[in-house]
A = this chain, B = another copy of it.
C-alpha cells in the first residue's frame, strides 16, 4: 500500500516541480537545475510534509508549493555536497553528478538557483494564511541554514578523514539531515493547523524518523545492493567516514534503528488511522533497500 501511495504522491510532486520550475532563459542554468531536480529523487521530504498534514486532519495535497520547495532545498544540498571541494562524488542515484555534466561553476550556480527557487516556490503557496506561511517558511530556512543543514555539512567537512565521537556524529546528522525532515513534518502540521498536542507528537516522530533514517543509511552503505542504492557500497569506509556502523557495530546500529522506530511509533499513539502512512513510513526504514 505504501508503494502505491508514494507513486501517487510522487506524480503530484513531480508535476508541481515541473510547473514551479519550467525551462526558461538562460537555458543552461534551468537545464542544470532541472537535471538534478528530475534525477529520480524519492521525494521523501515533500511526501512527509503531506502525510503530516493528513495526520493532523488536513489535506496534504493543498500544500504542494511548500512541499516542492523542500525538494528543491534537498536537491541543491546534494549538488553542492557532490562538488570536488566537498565529497567529490561522480555518481548520484546511478547518474553523473551535476558538476560532472555541467562543470563545477555551473553546478554551484544550479544549487544556488534551486535554493533561491525553493523560497520563491514556498512563498507562492496559495490558500494559506500569510502569517502561517511566513512562520513555516522561516522555520524551513532555519532548518536549512547554518544552525541546521549547512552547519551539519560544515561539521561533516571538518570531520572528513577523521574519527569523530558519538555525540558529534549525532549532532552532525541531526543538523545535516534531521533538521530538514523535522521542518518538513512540522510544516505539514502547521499548515494544517495542528493542535499543540498534535504538533508535539509529530515533532517527536520527526526527530526519531530522522535518526532511524540516518542509521539505516549507514547500514545500507555496508549491506546494500549497489544497483539499488545507486552508488558504490562501502564508500563511507573508503572515505574514512565515521558512521553508526563504524562507531557501534552493525548489530548495535540495527538495534538503535529499531529503537528509534519504536519511539517514533509511540509518538503517534494519540493519532488515529489518518496517521497510518506515517506509521508505515517509519517501519519501512527498517527494511529499506535504497
Q: Is A196 an interface residue (CB 8 A)?
A: no
Contact status B155-A26, CB under 8 Å: yes
Contact status A141-B112, CB under 8 Å: no
Which residues of chain B are near A32, meaning CB under 8 Å? 154
Copies per complex? 2
Q: Which residue of B lies closest to A87 (CB)?
A: B105
- A126-140 toward B: CB 8 Å interface, digit per residue (1/0)? 000111011001100
A109 to B115, CA, bound (A): 12
A28 to B150, CA, bound (A): 11
Which residues of chain B are near A106, meaning CB under 8 Å? 154, 157
Q: Is A227 an interface residue (CB 8 A)?
A: no
A62 nearest CB across to chain B (Å) = 17
Which residues of chain B are near A116, meaning CB under 8 Å? 115, 141, 144-146, 150
Q: Which residue of B lies closest to A103 (CB)?
A: B85
Contact status B109-A124, CB under 8 Å: no
Q: Is A111 an interface residue (CB 8 A)?
A: yes
Contact status B26-A151, CB under 8 Å: yes
A134 nearest CB across to chain B (Å) = 5
A20 nearest CB across to chain B (Å) = 11
In the A-B complex, the 4 residue pairs with the smallest Cβ-Cβ separation, listed nearest first, are A85-B104, A116-B145, A120-B141, A130-B130
Given A24-B147, A108-B108, A123-B137, list of 20 further CB < 8 A pairs? A25-B147, A26-B151, A26-B155, A29-B146, A29-B154, A83-B105, A83-B108, A85-B103, A86-B105, A109-B150, A112-B112, A112-B115, A113-B145, A115-B115, A116-B141, A117-B145, A120-B138, A120-B142, A120-B145, A123-B134
